[in-house]
A = this chain, B = another copy of it.
Amino acid sequence: MSGYLKGRLRREDIIAAAMDVYREAGYHGSSLREIAKRANLTHAGLIYYFPSKEALLAAVLERRDAEDTEREKLDTTPPGVEVLHHFLAIVEHNTRNPGVVDMYTRLAAEAVAVDHPAHAYFERHYRMARDNAEATFRALSERGELRTGVDPAMAALTFIALWDGLQVQWLTNQAEVDMLGSIRTHLQNLLTVPLD
């Protein structure tokens, strides 16, 4: 096994451990010592791989985006009902992966503070999500597939806000909250065509 490969695997272990700890304690609440312990090394050893606490956070966010091949596909899907199906597929995927949702929600909430190291990341993330949704609703509107009086920009904002809010409710009580059904129903209520 080459030294480079070993190093890469070690980094992956550390990132996975960091995601676990961020999920439980947020960024500020987590310590390099706790993350290092779960990756079986000392906190000084961790710093050998990631030069600072912030650099590790950046690596975690970067890998999360890299994993999101779904988002990649989203970018290349032409605006229309198909995009809504893509959104729903992501929600369904999330339903089977509460850990990632939990980590993301935890960090996003913390990063509302302007001086949080992930603030810029999430600002960009949300803007892209909103723009994407707005373009979709606009295309639907031009084809007459959006109910009369529904404004694409407001529909986009409402959709993203609903998605976020539902994740929080779902994380608090997964048994009682039908995240996928609620979003599907909400979208269907905006459309003049069936969503199936």
Contacts and interface: CB of A to CB of B under 8 A. Distances in A.
Interface in A85-124: 102, 105-106, 108-110, 112-113, 123
A59 interface: no
A169 B165 CA distance: 10
Copies in the complex: 2
Contact of A163 (B108, B110, B157, B165): B165
A14 to B, nearest CB: 22
B24 A168 contact: no
A151 to B, nearest CB: 8
Contacts of A172: 112, 123, 126
A51 interface: no
A44 interface: no
Interface in A53-83: none
Nearest to A107: B109
A195 interface: no
B169 A161 contact: yes
Interface in A134-161: 151, 154, 157-158, 160-161
Q: Which of A102, A189, A190 has the most CB of B within 10 A?
A: A189
Nearest to A102: B112
Interface of A: 24-26, 28-29, 102, 105-106, 108-110, 112-113, 123, 126, 151, 154, 157-158, 160-166, 168-169, 171-172, 177-178, 181-182, 185-186, 189-190
10 contacts: A26-B26, A105-B109, A106-B109, A151-B185, A157-B166, A157-B169, A157-B178, A161-B164, A163-B165, A165-B165
